[in-house]
Each structure stands twice: as C-alpha cells, then as structure tokens.
Structure 1
C-alpha cells in the first residue's frame, strides 16, 4: 500500500510539472559546436557571456519565470514599463540552434521590482541578457548571461569603462549566499572559470578590455 501511494505521488507530481531532473553537466562549451563566448551586438563586436547559471542548478531556476524571480531576488527586473530601446542581441551557444535572440533582458531595479528599472534607464546601472543552451546537440538548459554596467543617459547609455567585468562582479556579489523573492529562497555558490574567454579587447563591443574570467553560478532552491 505504501509503495502504491508513492507511485501515485510521483505520477501526480510529474503531471503537475514538479518532477524536474538536474542535468549531468554545468554547460557545454559553445565553441565545441561552432558557437562563441561572445554574443552579436550588431556593431561588429560582441558582448562577453561572462556569467553562466549552471545546468546543475535547481531546474525551476532555469525556466523563464524561474530566472526572472531569481533576478528579482538579486535586485533586477524587467525593463521600464516593458519598453525596450534597440534591437535584441543574439548568441550562438553551439547547441545546434545557431544564432538565437536573447531570451530576456533584465535591469537593476534599485529596490523596486515594478518601477526601479525606469531609474536604471535614466541613471545607468547594471543589466544582463539571458541566452539558454537548449539545442539538439547540447540540450543542457544552462543560462549564459551577458552582464555589463551602463552609463547614464547623458553619456548615451553606453557601457561603462571596464563595464563588462564590473557588471559581472556586481551581479555575482549580489548573488552569493542566500537571497529570497516571491516566497522562494535561493542559495548560490560561485566558481571562477578561465580558458573560455580571451582577455583583452579583441572582438569586444566598444573595444572595452575584459579579464577573461567567466563566473559559474550554481543556484539551489532551499
């Protein structure tokens, strides 16, 4: 009777979408499948994919709604009044999907998940683009983030000097440890990865040099 009840419970959870399995790898290196660690910024250069949320994170973190809630726990939210200026950027994550537009772009919300990003749009701040590795040849579900710090509107809302490394580090520093939003608590650990991005400014949008470090985040719902 106990075994039968356990089977029924598993079937019910599967039907409701609660049974989600962690992947066996953190991610697949995009370059092994013809991809790149730089997205296409549409100006002849690319922005570094300088943060990866591991596929071994809690599966619900890796969904569209999950990453948005996680971002809100870190002080980011959707764009001001849902308005986006400029076209989306694309990335090839070497997963067989080719070049795909960003899933979402999120901005620092300065403590207000509803209107705070309007301040970021004017005063500058941190922001990131999300790309999901889910193609037929590398279906990991890992999220690749292009993170950068922006100047205010008087400076053309361009990337700050050293803005890719600064933006990356600000996001990671806000993530490490336990954070909560919307009734969900996250525990995040970080690992530095080298050898994927090349240090320097070659191929980087706006010619801004980077240190070549990728931050790997593993996010667990607790």
Structure 2
C-alpha cells in the first residue's frame, strides 16, 4: 500500500510541477518585445547631444533564455563575428536608452565590436580602422519584462575620424549584423540558429533627430535566436 500511495502522490507532484513549469515557460515566452513608445520610451538611444541613434535590431524575448543576458549575449555575439572591446577599454561616454519598461533611461549594458575573425584581439583592429559595432539594452523592467535585447547597430569610421558613423551607417550596420547572424553558428560550445524578420512602424523614416544627420529607413530587424 505504501508503494501505491507514494506512487500516486509522486505522480500528482510531478503533474503539478510540470503544469507550473509549463505555465512559467508560457509566460516567459508570451511576447517578443514591447514597443518602448507604449511605456514612454523611444526607439532611439540618447546620444547626450539632443539627438539619437536607432535601436535597429531586437533579439526577441522568444529567443532561448540563455541568450537574453549579458554573458549569453556576448557568447552569441562571438558566434556571429563580434566581441568585447579591445582589452576591455571603452572610449567615450555610455549612451542611455529608455525602453519603456519602467526603468527609465538606462546606460548600455555592453558595447560589442566587429572582431574580424579573432574574438581575442580583433576588436582592437576595429577600434583602429573602424567597422561594425553595437550597444546592448535589455527590456527587463517592471512594466515590460520581455527580456528582449535592443541593439543600436552602426558602422563607424576609423579612430582618426573620431569613430564617426559612415554614410548610411545605421542601415548598413544593421544589415551587416543581420547577414552575419542569420543561419547556424557555433561558439563556446553553443550552437545558435537565428531567424530574422523586418518590422516597420516602430521608428520614423528620415534624419530628423538622428545623430550625425544620417537618415534611417525605419526598418527594425527582429532576430529570434534558438540554442540547439
């Protein structure tokens, strides 16, 4: 009798636990992101000069959870050709963004640069000659806790040109990152599969209010990253 009762109790506990886990997983995966404007935020980073740079790529909150944190996103970035800054040195002020999640303006979590095939020292080359780079912001506040990562991507000039953005550099940077990301990539013992979808209507087309007076096409690319 003890065995029968124990089995029934354990089965009930397992069923309840499974149901609770399923509910949790469903809640966590309920939305890809929330429009920052809905919570008083913006799809533009504040560049501290009255202008902004576009948050033109979003890593969906429906992605595998291990991608949606700083360490996990850095490992993913290394799989698609980006890495942390040269010797961990960051020049220039961090830029804040308000993702409308209840946190208000928050400085970038991390800035990552094109590594030219070397995750160890390649970003030193990017710092010298220019290339693609992006700032990362997580939408994880009390009013919009989607876990999505918003990226401000742009292609920049060399250090001798003060790392200014190249002509059409926001759209070019976005497209280059997306091209590098889509498909299957490996790094650090992880295999990532990335799918992309273009979204319009989140930001205006044109150069009004955009840093350096560089026009944007209004497209934001949503990446969904699955760890296999």
- TM-score of the aligned structures, taking structure 1 as reference length: 0.91
Give 1 or 2 for the bigger CA radius of gyration. 2
1:190–1:216 contact (8 Å) kept in structure 2:
yes
Runs (4 or more) in structure 1 with deviation over 3 Å come to 1-7, 19-22
Map of 1:60-79 to 2, 5 A cutoff? 60-79=66-85
What's the counterpart of residue 82 of structure 1?
88
Once the two structures are superposed, the pairs formed by residues 134-145 of structure 1 within 5 Å of their partners are 134-145=140-151
Question: In the alignment, which residue of structure 2 is the partner of 1:59?
Answer: 65
Question: How far, CA to CA, are the matches of 2:10 and 2:149 in structure 1?
Answer: 37
1:108 alignment partner in structure 2: 114
Please name the residue that 1:157 is paired with. 163
- Asked if 2 retains the 8 angstrom alpha-carbon contact of 1:20 and 1:59, the reply is no
Gaps of 5+ in 1: none
Cα distance in structure 2, aligned partners of 1:4 and 1:102: 46
Q: Which has the higher helix share?
A: 2
- What is the rounded CA distance, in whole Å, between the counterparts of 1:30 and 1:153 in structure 2? 32
SS at match of 1:141: strand
Give SS of 2:196's match.
Answer: strand
The CA deviation at 1:3 is 9.1
When the two chains are superposed, the root-mean-square deviation of aligned CA atoms in Å is 1.9
Where do residues 18-33 of structure 1 align in structure 2 (5 Å cutoff)? 22-33=28-39
Question: Which SS does the other structure have where 2:124 is aligned?
Answer: helix
Aligned equivalents of 1:40, 1:156: Cα separation in 2: 19
Matches within 5 A, 1:202-221: 202-221=208-227
Equivalent-residue separation in structure 2 for 1:125 and 1:34 (angstroms): 32
